[in-house]
Structure 1
Amino acid sequence: MHTRRRTALASTLALLAVPVLAACSGSAEDDVRAAAEAFLTAWAGGDTHAAADATTDPAAATALLDRTAADLPGATLHTDLGDVAVDDGAATVDWTATWDLAAAPDWSYPATLRLREADEGWDVVAEPTLVHPELGAGQHLVLQRELPERAAITDADGSPLFTPTEVVDVGVDPAQVTDLPALAAALSAATGVAAEEIVADVQAASPGQFVPVITLRRPDFEAIRAQVYDLPGAVFPTATRLLAPTARFASALLGRVGPATAEVLDETTEDGVPTYAAGDQLGLSGLQRAYQQQLTGTPGFTVSVASTDQATGDAGRQVAAVAPVPGTPIRTPLVRAVQDAADAAVATQPLPTHLVVVRPGTGEVLAVSSNEAAAAGNALTGRYPPGSSMKVVTATALLGAGALTPQTPVPCPGTFVVDGREFENADQFDLGTVPFTEAFAQSCNTTFMQQALQLPDDALAAAAASYGVGTDWRLPVDVFSGSVPADSTGTTKAADAIGQGQVLMSPAQLALVAAGVASGTPAVPVEVVGADPAGPTPTGPSQQVLDALRPMMRQVVLSGTATALADRGEVYGKTGTAEYGSNTPPDAHGWFAGYRLGGPQGDGTTGDIAFAVLVEGGQTSRLAVDVTDAFLGDLG
């Protein structure tokens, strides 16, 4: 052995003892370092068998390393060798372990390997301390991740909009099912989830796997308890989730929190390292997802040493801890009273209905509402023909061109032919020749087609752009800013002028158009207070155009197509009916876009608001006006 050879040389060659000892000691240290490095490299590389073979007891080492891998799931080990000491067939190697823990901060600690000289070199001593210096016989590591409490999303007043709420996960235990079709039919009748989906999910599940059907707030579950509770195979575990005041409360904007999906986890991975883990409660949509890391914060962890024998009741001794770092809240401009009034208003309709409210001059989104029948996201990102609500933009173009004033006499025939295609007013009403204001108030399609055909082809697009239509808003939650072509001609141009043709809008963008008229300074939409501007500020129409357009929009309410709103304060607006589809007669959406100054009596109690209402398939604008009436009446 090296030590025996050094002793022999020292006794026979005294003059050369010192240099020979130095050289041989260096060789031994190199051998020890190489052995330690080989062990750690194999372990860090995931080859526990190769690492174990480099120890004094491969079987014990294999069990120890495999248990450590199970104790630290998904973790990656990085090593850094330090000092080496050799003494008469024994050696120690200092090293630093750095564990890249899955979905938790790194964990580093100093440790020491003991090695023994063997016939073929050096072996690492197989003992618990090779994993951690405080690990003893019959013990293992216990890692616990901890997420901080999720930071709040607040309303404009700073009140949190999400609170911990008890929910019931209605689901199926396949092992307890006696009649799957009957169970699926009963659950479907109670929850609205398609029976065929339930059957397919249960059939695809592994034995013992919980199959979720729907998650309900406790009051909603109690309403169906009698229908489902005794069904063989139905199970009802409970949990606590962060929820908004109601299931539909500004859901398109706020989003929701739930167990992390693979897609969401992938979004939060940095340089291939996951920030969060399956089962974590994360933002799945809306602002909750857009501000994921700011709201969620950074996980922390504790590591304890505990007995492998669970019967001992050993709770463990903590050897490391990193406190979780709380997230920081975000404040939205949502106003609870406005959102509640909007939710109540859309709930009056059985058809899919949306209502978006913004603050004129600031672009702050005060409410985003969709009823149960609607796809909530369409309030912000839906693409719909705006119908005669587009006449606000068309009137802006006509007034801006100097071709008309509100008092200019214009013809309003019942029908109008463009390139062989006949267009008509509702029920072909014919007003004869009337002031432009009257044609606007009564929503005369033929007037607007005739006049728009005299404009340059890009005039409608330019007028729309002055309100922000077509802008690529850079928002945390997408808003479709609308689309108005700049090159339409003939029948398409005529149809564009009345919000048909190729023109598309979202309820949110149409509310921003109305807000631009109200304030005279169209604003960039604001979803989060203090966020960077979502795009360039629209230029807005001239003051001369605004002075002409506002009284026209007021006349719609006083004597035109929205007189039902005449008692709701100082309301301005424009109705719209937008045909779509291929049915005969065609189906149509109903719109109302407008604004109100001050409170119901102009007393400023609620401030200026602008809004757009869409009733999908409403056929006329009447239902949209009814929703607006309910909204303003409830808001007060």
Structure 2
Amino acid sequence: MRNQRGSGSGSRGSAVRRATVVAGGAVLLLGPLVAGCSADPSDEVRQAAQAFLEDWSGGDADAAAGRTTDPAATTALLQQTAEDLPDATLTADVGDVAVTDDGATVDWSATWDLAAAPDWSYDAALSLTEGDEGWQVVSAPTVVHPELGEGQHLALTRSLAERAPITDATGAALFAETEVVNVGVDPALVTDLPALAAGLSAATGIAAEQIAADVQAAPEGQFVPVITLRRPDFEAIRAQVFDLPGAVFPTSTRLLAPTSRFGLALLGRVGDATQEVIEETAGEDGAPRYAAGDSLGLSGLQRAYQEQLTGTPGFSVAVVSTDAATGDTGRVVGSADPVAGTPVQTPLVPELQNAADAAVGGQPLATHLVVVRPGTGELLAVSSNEAANPAHALSGQFPPGSSMKTMTATALLSAGTVTPQTPVPCPGTTVVDGREFENEDQFDLGTVPMTEAFAESCNTTFIQQALTLPDDALTQAAASYGVGTDWQLPVDVFSGDVPSASAGTTKAADAIGQGEVLMSPAQMALVAAGIASGTPAAPVEVVGAPPAGTAPAGPGQAVLDQLRPMMREVVLTGTATGLADRGEVFGKTGTAEFGTNTPPDSHGWFMGYRLGGPQGDIAFCVLVEAGQSSKVAVDVADAFLAALG
């Protein structure tokens, strides 16, 4: 790293008696001139010193040592220095040359690019003597550093400042140093590996085969990690594992969010640096900024804002005794303090996040809940339960089912082909290009107002009406809420996909959220927020960050004034009456078929918003993967709103 120079100490050699000094390329003669003296030797001295330093800095320690008075001792010295400063590279600049009757001195400056630490620079001097083979560097520990003596070597220590916090909407830190228990195996204590692996597997869920293989492959005396648990989680399995011969439980601390799932998809995790992360954060020249053992962000915002949160490493280099038994901790000859990072503020609201976590936590199936602030696009909560891949909350791609009807209705209302009061047929089935589409259990409402068809989620109505629209009408309606936008965010949000060239049966399926339409829970929450506020907004993951994109235009106030009462009716009389007593809630349910089973499996959706609750207006979306119906998603939404009051 060359973004910061460490301090160092050193000395410059000085000429004694009569000397020739070369400075800045000019030759200055100091002292009286003697007639008939030999040619100026300064250039030869400079060339000898330069050759030694070029070989050393170029990584050829043997060649460099061969230019000294004691090649064997110098080889050992340079090899020791390479071990002391692992992966460091040296840049050497030759300065003044002084030649005396007794020899010569060459001043030089060293700059060490300490891998994953700031540069360390100091001034030094080489002593040279003239022998039969010309000028040679005098072998001595001071070749490496002016304060290095016999029986000593350098000791490099890196350090990171305390990681800057990721905060909630109020600026309160969301991560804290937390005690963890590292459940693992000491191979030397194992008496029955299959039994040990089976016992640990039963308690932790880690495959017994994997545990046994890791233990068998471990070098002698090495701790074999199985899983790291927060203290309460370890206490829950303590009785199962504590007395297993070979199992050991060293403790440490880690920077953790309040709970293991708290905003996980957005916030990410902090842990020991992986090679992938180290390479990802390398400088433009490929030099690493961080090293193995550093605590770094491994995912989410913790990874996306790595440099801002981690800051710049510091270092110290000390001269210490080669004999560790002396206990000589040495003296510091170079150092740079670590530079702390700066916080990253999110719009997360812990009260909403905790309520969302509790709501999804009650489901055995993979479940997600994303909460957005209407009018701003701020992500207030991003929640997934233990059964779920947390990334699906933001970047998952799922057919949205009938929750898509909010956008199909937007297209119909925008085109003026229907109003909420328009009588529309809702037969049990309808056929498009030879393919039959049906309502759930083929319910048949006859002819009803559009609002009722929407509230009861009549597929056949929306298919028949959507087929009268231009082929790109659904795409344009969805785009008015930001669907299909290439959001530029630190943590990706899939903005959805509504193809613009659909026709026939594909167009019919798209109108009810099947076919080729795909959405993420986060984007559906943004759609709900746009309907609630009338001013759709780009998503916001970090307060003060550049906009993720241009704010969507929205469908217009006239359309929203018609759509909102239709969504309210879903809660009052339609498919989401389970939310009728949770305040002024508006929404749309969805059941989205997927897979090849007969009958097909289905995801359960609910997207909507609540006005005027204790936390203000909020929009949200629930997805229960393979929930089979929208009812389970409504139940999650009910638990969420109930927790908020």
- TM-score band w.r.t. shorter chain: over 0.9
User: Which residue matches 1:433?
Assistant: 447
1:555-634 matched pairs, under 5 angstroms: 555-599=569-613, 605-634=614-643
The answer to whether 1:408 aligns with 2:408 is no
Query: 2 CA distance for matches of 1:412 and 1:43?
Result: 85
Shift of 1:169: 1.5
Identity rate, percent: 76
The answer to whether 1:212 aligns with 2:225 is yes
SS of the equivalent of 1:598 reads strand
SS of the equivalent of 2:616 reads coil
User: Which residue matches 1:61?
Assistant: 74
Alignment match of 1:250 (pick from 245, 255, 263):
263
Alignment match of 1:284 (pick from 293, 298, 304):
298
The answer to whether 1:83 aligns with 2:96 is yes
User: Which residue matches 1:264?
Assistant: 277
Shift of 1:358: 0.3
User: Which residue matches 1:24?
Assistant: 39
1:388-537 matched pairs, under 5 angstroms: 388-537=402-551
Shift of 1:195: 1.8
SS of the equivalent of 1:628 reads helix
Shift of 1:228: 1.3
SS of the equivalent of 1:577 reads strand
Query: 2 CA distance for matches of 1:402 and 1:208?
Result: 76
Aligned in 2, Cα 1:118/1:226: closer, same or farther, shift over 3 Å?
A: same
Shift of 1:89: 4.0
Shift of 1:143: 1.0
**Which digits, 9 at most, give the CA deviation of each residue in 1:341-372, with x for residues without a partner?**
00010011111110000000000000000011
User: Which residue matches 1:135?
Assistant: 148
Query: 1 CA distance for matches of 2:137 and 2:203?
Result: 64
**Which digits, 9 at most, give the CA deviation of each residue in 1:600-629, with x for residues without a partner?**
xxxxx2110000001111111111001000
Query: 1 CA distance for matches of 2:396 and 2:210?
Result: 27
Q: Which amino acid aligns with 2:183?
A: V
The answer to whether 1:353 aligns with 2:367 is yes
SS of the equivalent of 1:276 reads coil
- Of the structure 1 ranges 51-60 and 384-393, higher mean CA displacement relative to structure 2 is found in 51-60
SS of the equivalent of 1:123 reads strand
SS of the equivalent of 1:613 reads strand
Aligned pair count reads: 614
Query: 2 CA distance for matches of 1:291 and 1:497?
Result: 39
User: Which residue matches 1:237?
Assistant: 250
**Which digits, 9 at most, give the CA deviation of each residue in 1:317-341, with x for residues without a partner?**
1111111100000100000100000
User: Which residue matches 2:131?
Assistant: 118
Q: Which amino acid aligns with 2:634?
A: V
- Of the structure 1 ranges 606-615 and 200-209, higher mean CA displacement relative to structure 2 is found in 200-209
Query: 2 CA distance for matches of 1:197 and 1:388?
Result: 43
1:355-394 matched pairs, under 5 angstroms: 355-394=369-408
Q: What is the root-mean-square deviation in Å for CA atoms of aligned residues?
A: 1.4
Q: Which amino acid aligns with 1:444?
A: C
Q: TM-score, normalised to structure 2's length?
A: 0.94
**Which digits, 9 at most, give the CA deviation of each residue in 1:106-154, with x for residues without a partner?**
0000000011111111111111111111111211111111101100000
User: Which residue matches 1:166?
Assistant: 179
Query: 1 CA distance for matches of 2:196 and 2:360?
Result: 34
Greater share of residues in helix = 1
SS of the equivalent of 1:240 reads strand
Q: TM-score, normalised to structure 1's length?
A: 0.95
Q: Which amino acid aligns with 1:216?
A: L
Shift of 1:584: 0.9
Query: 2 CA distance for matches of 1:77 and 1:288?
Result: 33
Query: Where does the alignment leave 5 or more consecutive residues of structure 1 unmatched?
Result: 1-5, 7-16, 600-604
Shift of 1:20: 4.6
- Of the structure 1 ranges 96-105 and 40-49, higher mean CA displacement relative to structure 2 is found in 40-49
Shift of 1:184: 1.7
Shift of 1:19: 6.7
Shift of 1:204: 3.2
- Of the structure 1 ranges 444-453 and 39-48, higher mean CA displacement relative to structure 2 is found in 39-48
